[in-house]
Structure 1
Amino acid sequence: MPTYKEILHLPSDPERSRILLFDGHSLAYRAFYGIPELTTRDGRPVNAIYGFLRVLLKTMREFPSAYAGVAFDAGGETYRHRLLPAYKATRVEIPDELAVQLTPLEELLDALGIPVIAREGVEADDLLGAIARRAADKGLTVLITSSDKDLAQLVDDHIFLIRPAGRRPTGEIELFDAEKVIEKYGVPPARIVDYLALIGDSSDNIPGVPGVGPKTAAKLLQEFGDLDSVLKNTDKVRNARVRKALQAHAADAVLARDLVALKLETEVGEVPDDYALRGIDVDRLREILSDLEFHSILNELDLGSVAPTAPPPGKEAEYRAVLTEAELDALTQELAGVDEFSLDLETTSRDPMRARIVGIAISPRPYIGYYIPVGHDYLGAPAQLSLAHVLDRLRPLIEGEAPRIIGQNLKYDIIVLHRAGVSPRGVSFDAMIASHLARPEERHHNLEEIARHYLNYEMLSYKELAGKEGKIEQVPVEQAVFYAAEDAEIVYRVKRPLEEAMEKAGATKLFREVEVPLIS
């Protein structure tokens, strides 16, 4: 059986003196909101799974460990609800787009041989705390990956926290020891429960003491030592407003302490034996990653790229010419019902200030492409719709905020369209720019090279279509249809792999917030 070191490219064999623990829902939520709009070709959301897997792989590579576990909340009433019926009452329901990802996430973890633990009526934090405490008591180093501040109460000489750093869920990770906890919160790990009892937690509907924020709580604990001492010495608190709040809400603070404190006696099985890595089911892992369309991860793990080099079995790419008013009607109706479409112009010059539009290629989804010829000029050329009429019909779609526009080197197309009296808006993706950010060391970022790298797909070249000096307007329409529609449609197929590659390269924020706005 292939080893974890071989499959996951670990720097060393997993260490038996260390256990990695992961806060399932915390990491899934963070990835869900940090990587928007990542879906499979058939529309299934996979952003939470992708972000979670990236954090998992990064942590396992930096800290190869023979033991690991992922804890999830299983729902049900907990002892905290009995203490405070309104506990977590203000939390909104888990979004459907995230909920549907949890089962495939657990299947992925199972294929990786990583134990998953969930107990109805027991919160994941308590499970993590119980596992961590028992592992530490047996001399293991414990690393818990989570964004939850409650877990900082566990940190000691054996237990450490790992937190994804920055806003990107797939970026760097940060190790928290006792000194880091003090630096972050102003109190040592042993006082985190008291600290949280004072400030409360609005996300869990835990009251705390109104008006006591993080800085004030830290100062009070630094001055008096612990929560009990703070409450016994309220008359010595110099700030009158804080003094009155402490006196009025002392019971709330004591209740909050009981709610925040982790229950380390929770049943979690045999530690660490029940959390030994079970081995990777390579075939099943490949199947799951393929179904999720995580092509970059498949390549990274040397499991073989399954990015489509051809249409799926039984599905042919369909490229069609639009020559009549009825066909244009059908196309505009189809475009009005999609979230985005790919756009590409066929023109007479590489200089956008001189180029004349010969045809417009559009793809509303993978494996479907249309070509609207408007300027092919040769003996026997079919009747074509006029450019002015086609642009008038497409104008609401191109100039509106929705549907969004994707393409390759869209800056060129936008300049040409501006000269034709159309002002595109809603641009959301450019394959050429994405390729530059994902692989800045590469010299060539034309669509043919992008398709070759990410899809192992060979596109029809212009030279093959028209010859070295051929003019697009003299190419027969029936031959130009495939070439032009393929240009638009392939952008759809490379979009997902490019987005994954940018996320891995840490370039997603730059792409969305800087590069895309600059296109138009």
Structure 2
Amino acid sequence: MSKKLVLIDGHSILNRAFYGVPDLTNSEGTHTNAMYGFLNIMFKILDEEHADYLTVAFDLSAPTFRHKLFEGYKGTRKSMPEELRQQVPLIKEVLKAMNVTIIEKEGYEADDLLGTLAKSGESIGLDVSLISGDRDMLQLATQKVKIRIPKTKKGVTEVEDYNFKEVFELYGVTPTEFIDIKALMGDASDNIPGAPGIGEKTASAIIQKYKSIENAYANIEQITPNKAKTSLSENYEQVQLSKVLATIDTDAPIDYNIDDATFNNLYTKESYELFKKYNFKSLLKKFDSEIVSTEPEVYKQIKILSELSDIENAFSAMEKAEHIGVFFAYEDNQLFGASFTFASKEKLSLYIPIQGFINEGYLIGKIADLSNMIHNKKNKLIFLNLKEQLDVLKDCEFDMLTDVGLAAYLLNPLKESYLFDELGRDYLKLSLPTKADILGKLGFKEAAFVNEEALSKYACLSSYVIYNAWETIEDELKNSNMLELFETIEMPLLFVLYSMQKEGIMVDKEGLKIYGDKLQIRILELEKEIYELSGTEFNINSPKQLGVVLFETLQMPNGKKTKSGYSTAADVLEKLAGEYPIVGKILEYRQLTKLKSTYADGLSSYIGEDGRIHGKFNQTITATGRISSTEPNLQNIPIRMELGREIRKAFIAKPGCVFIDADYSQIELRILAHMSGDIKLIEAYNSEQDIHRITASQVFHVPLEEVSNTQRSNAKAVNFGIIYGISSFGLSQGLSISRKEANEYIEKYFETYPDIKAFINGLVEDAKEKGYSTTIFDRKRPIPELSSSNFMQRAFGERIAMNSPIQGTAADIIKIAMIKVYEALKDNKLKSKLILQIHDELLVETYEDEVDQVKKILKENMLGAAKLLVSLEIDMNEGKNWFEAH
């Protein structure tokens, strides 16, 4: 059986993968979709081919011999998108790490190199498979050379195969004659001129009959149709040039030894590190366990302390340390061990297991003593994911604790996670095993009993990264002017959020059930009404069935049918709701069924034994700096519809308390006024009148007292829409007016507030120049979309650039307010607690004898959270439940 050589057209497959795989980026914002698609295609081919030899050829940017023959060669081809261009050197780096032979040569295209290698391989008896998305390669097909053309659609790759026989069957010509077809018809993508007016069908017919352009020209009088005869006759020299341009050179002068291309081990330690770097998680399983478990050098610096004297000495040494990286093997409210890394002569990472006399209480006490000992110094105990470990640290001085992950979030808020191995890679240039690599599926408790060595390695590796990454991250925070943001807002807020999580919010379980039953009654009513209006019973929750009813049975307009059926997305239905009553009922039905399943039914599972929900508040999820709520998500509770708002009745104050709710009024518009410096908008706010009515008066040129409710509503939509970079199309959809009218509203708005337009344009230009947007408090939000070659992505980036400084500043202000309110409640020794934050709203569970004090604290600290050119305002209410208080 012949050995096999697999040849890959690098740029062609990379290009095909780029357009076939959705945009992907790694934690550093590097585009990776082309690389990921390329590798998947390569692995698929190699699995099928069982290759002995493998080579990938790439084009170089230097001119080739074809450019010297014809200056316009490939002159009409669009430049490569920047997102693809940046991946070319990266895929080469990956392939080299995988021991894959790469060839490229100035003056020649990859086609010529591949053609030469295919011919050479065939000549020594190899079977050759050439992988390319370019059909020009079909001219190389023989009995021994197979051209394989992948097609990637929605991430799925299919491959078409062509030997000599398949080319002849498809085109009616031999692979060599295929060149002449292209010479006649030309190629717009390569700017090969051919004979004007001769298309593929005519060119194929001519070459099938005459076998070559030379023979066709020799029989020019017999060529039909007359138009083709004239064109070939008048452009024969151009056609001859086109043939030279279209012919792949199979004798390119390249230095290549087939033995060097032996298909060997792709899965090296170096390639594993790169796969991790580029987040190719699904491909990591291809690597052997030996590669995955390669032990870092850090493991040699681990010291396990099991003697009391050693532990005492270690804590004495730590008292003198500037910074200490700390990791707790903490799980299910239990500590199983701890690791410490700090500056010492031996550069050790210490691990203390919980066993025997070294119990949890002893170790926690030692850590608390340590935090008190180094209190008021510059020393810090550095953690990762600190908030989830504060139960262990409750007796410590909190201002001595720092979270390196939270700091890393500020530097790159676009990342999905901030794990120790990611920090090691991003800030220490280390490729480290993951938690799963070290512990497998073991939790800390299991590992402590069955594999303490692995647990000690994981713990020490974590504390090592935490300690060493902190210095780099702290420097980067200083350089980006975000250290103050970290130290005065994010870190203090972490302890506020911890307190809120511990406190939780009481829920009336029976009230929740009654609310769910009320929703169910209305859902059944809507279901019956929808069936009556449609004339048939169907599954309303099935988009496919719903689409058929709306666009076929009821013949509604503008139905967009796809492979899976008609689109019934909310934006499609909202356009129809005004004219068709059934659509409004369907939208209400959807809202109520979601409300019931997610909240009325779903919240019950989160209620603890104390009758309270202890949700999580997250600082590192959103790119703008907003706090997010999970387990459950209380920020998505609907408030626009009356029945949706009623769920707040189930959130109740405990006996002897009321809720006090304080909500910033139009904070983002006030920030816009401040940041833009627009005099009219500032005056409008400082006049303490209805901002939307004032805007309507100025935009529509009517006296303030004559502004209609519709004009005020439209002005409100423009006011808030401007913050989010709303387009005339978006505004027209929201107000159900024409795009022309919407555009006029926006133009009038900018005429009224001219400084706002200049400010917003300036935000976009500034972000394009820097690559990020900035809040008043120096929070930075990277916007890689601004450099995208895709128009829609760039437009999205521009909207982010307009909104992020405003939304991010609003997020910063509410955080400052939360810290001030929390500290004021504590300083005044009040029993009342801050328990909830929803966007611009704070909720305090307030003892009845502290109501006046709490209201004063909320007002003073929320209004004093920032000094703007316009005053901050809040709406404040109280009630026995959240509904009454809002």
What TM-score bracket applies, with the shorter chain setting the length? Answer: 0.5 to 0.7
Question: Partner amino acid for 1:364?
Answer: T
Deviation by residue 1:30-69 (Cα, 9 ceiling, x = unmatched): 1112223211133210011001001000000000111010
Question: Partner amino acid for 1:370?
Answer: S
Q: 1:28 aligns with which of 14, 31, 44?
A: 14
- Label 1:300 to 1:192 Cα distance change in 2 as closer, same or farther (>3 A): same
Is the CA contact 1:71–1:124 (under 8 Å) kept in the aligned structure 2?
yes
Q: What secondary structure does 1:202 align onto? A: coil
- Label 1:50 to 1:301 Cα distance change in 2 as closer, same or farther (>3 A): same
1:17 equivalent in structure 2: 3
2:570 equivalent in structure 1: none
Distance 1:67 1:266 in 2: 20
* 1:217 counterpart = 2:492: no
- Label 1:272 to 1:233 Cα distance change in 2 as closer, same or farther (>3 A): same
1:252 equivalent in structure 2: 238
Is the CA contact 2:267–2:286 (under 8 Å) kept in the aligned structure 1?
no
* 1:110 counterpart = 2:96: yes
* 1:226 counterpart = 2:473: no
Q: 1:137 aligns with which of 123, 127, 135?
A: 123
Q: 1:91 aligns with which of 77, 83, 102?
A: 77
Distance 1:381 1:39 in 2: 47
* 1:286 counterpart = 2:272: yes
Q: 2:107 aligns with which of 82, 97, 121?
A: 121
Q: What secondary structure does 2:83 align onto? A: helix
* 1:235 counterpart = 2:493: no
Task: Give 1:76 shift.
Answer: 1.4
Structure 2 residue ranges without an equivalent (≥5): 294-415, 424-465, 471-489, 498-591, 604-612, 638-647, 669-715, 728-832, 839-886
2:382 equivalent in structure 1: none
Deviation by residue 1:303-345 (Cα, 9 ceiling, x = unmatched): 669x969464459999886xxxxxxxxxxxxxxxxxxxxxxx9
Distance 2:269 2:160 in 1: 33
* 1:171 counterpart = 2:429: no
Question: Partner amino acid for 1:73?
Answer: D
1:350 equivalent in structure 2: 597
Task: Give 1:177 shift.
Answer: 1.4
Is the CA contact 1:23–1:125 (under 8 Å) kept in the aligned structure 2?
yes
Question: Partner amino acid for 1:152?
Answer: L
Q: 2:35 aligns with which of 49, 55, 68?
A: 49
Question: Partner amino acid for 1:350?
Answer: S
Task: Give 1:366 shift.
Answer: 11
Q: Rg larger in 1 or in 2?
A: 2
- Label 1:54 to 1:45 Cα distance change in 2 as closer, same or farther (>3 A): same
* 1:370 counterpart = 2:628: yes
2:253 equivalent in structure 1: 267
Is the CA contact 1:36–1:47 (under 8 Å) kept in the aligned structure 2?
yes
Distance 2:197 2:98 in 1: 47
Is the CA contact 1:55–1:169 (under 8 Å) kept in the aligned structure 2?
no
1:180 equivalent in structure 2: 166
Task: Give 1:383 shift.
Answer: 3.9
- Label 1:281 to 1:295 Cα distance change in 2 as closer, same or farther (>3 A): closer
Moved more, 269-278 or 115-124: 269-278
Is the CA contact 2:21–2:152 (under 8 Å) kept in the aligned structure 1?
no
1:189 equivalent in structure 2: 175
- Label 1:16 to 1:75 Cα distance change in 2 as closer, same or farther (>3 A): farther
Task: Give 1:129 shift.
Answer: 0.4
Deviation by residue 1:208-238 (Cα, 9 ceiling, x = unmatched): 0111111111111111221111111121123
- Label 1:398 to 1:193 Cα distance change in 2 as closer, same or farther (>3 A): same
Q: What secondary structure does 1:57 align onto? A: helix
- Label 1:256 to 1:181 Cα distance change in 2 as closer, same or farther (>3 A): same
Distance 2:622 2:190 in 1: 43
Deviation by residue 1:95-122 (Cα, 9 ceiling, x = unmatched): 2211111112011111221100011121
Task: Give 1:302 shift.
Answer: 5.5
Q: How does 1:280-319 map to 2 (within 5 A)?
A: 280=266, 282-301=268-287, 310=419, 312-313=422-423, 314=466
1:513 equivalent in structure 2: none
Deviation by residue 1:117-151 (Cα, 9 ceiling, x = unmatched): 01112110000000110000000000000011111
- Label 1:124 to 1:351 Cα distance change in 2 as closer, same or farther (>3 A): closer
Question: Partner amino acid for 1:203?
Answer: S
Is the CA contact 2:2–2:125 (under 8 Å) kept in the aligned structure 1?
no
| Structure with the bigger percentage of helix | 2
Distance 2:155 2:598 in 1: 40
1:451 equivalent in structure 2: none
Task: Give 1:275 shift.
Answer: 1.7
Is the CA contact 2:59–2:105 (under 8 Å) kept in the aligned structure 1?
yes
Task: Give 1:298 shift.
Answer: 0.9
Deviation by residue 1:247-301 (Cα, 9 ceiling, x = unmatched): 1111111001111111111123344223223433521111000000011111354
Distance 2:624 2:52 in 1: 42
TM-score (norm 1): 0.62
Question: Partner amino acid for 2:82?
Answer: D
TM-score (norm 2): 0.38
Is the CA contact 1:16–1:66 (under 8 Å) kept in the aligned structure 2?
no
- Label 1:189 to 1:355 Cα distance change in 2 as closer, same or farther (>3 A): same
Distance 1:141 1:205 in 2: 33
Question: Partner amino acid for 2:90?
Answer: P
Distance 1:350 1:49 in 2: 41
Q: What secondary structure does 2:113 align onto? A: helix
Distance 1:268 1:33 in 2: 31
Is the CA contact 1:135–1:271 (under 8 Å) kept in the aligned structure 2?
no
Question: Partner amino acid for 1:292?
Answer: Y
* 1:67 counterpart = 2:314: no
- Label 1:230 to 1:361 Cα distance change in 2 as closer, same or farther (>3 A): farther
Task: Give 1:349 shift.
Answer: 3.5
Q: How does 1:415-426 map to 2 (within 5 A)?
A: none
Deviation by residue 1:325-374 (Cα, 9 ceiling, x = unmatched): xxxxxxxxxxxxxxxxxxxx9x9741689999x99989424997424767
Is the CA contact 2:17–2:152 (under 8 Å) kept in the aligned structure 1?
no
1:5 equivalent in structure 2: none
- Label 1:382 to 1:26 Cα distance change in 2 as closer, same or farther (>3 A): farther
Q: What secondary structure does 1:121 align onto? A: coil
Task: Give 1:389 shift.
Answer: 7.9
- Label 1:198 to 1:268 Cα distance change in 2 as closer, same or farther (>3 A): same
Task: Give 1:480 shift.
Answer: 9.4
- Label 1:35 to 1:361 Cα distance change in 2 as closer, same or farther (>3 A): farther
Is the CA contact 1:185–1:214 (under 8 Å) kept in the aligned structure 2?
no
2:515 equivalent in structure 1: none
- Label 1:259 to 1:364 Cα distance change in 2 as closer, same or farther (>3 A): same
Is the CA contact 1:55–1:170 (under 8 Å) kept in the aligned structure 2?
no
Distance 2:249 2:256 in 1: 17
Is the CA contact 2:206–2:216 (under 8 Å) kept in the aligned structure 1?
yes
Question: Partner amino acid for 2:70?
Answer: L
Question: Partner amino acid for 1:181?
Answer: V
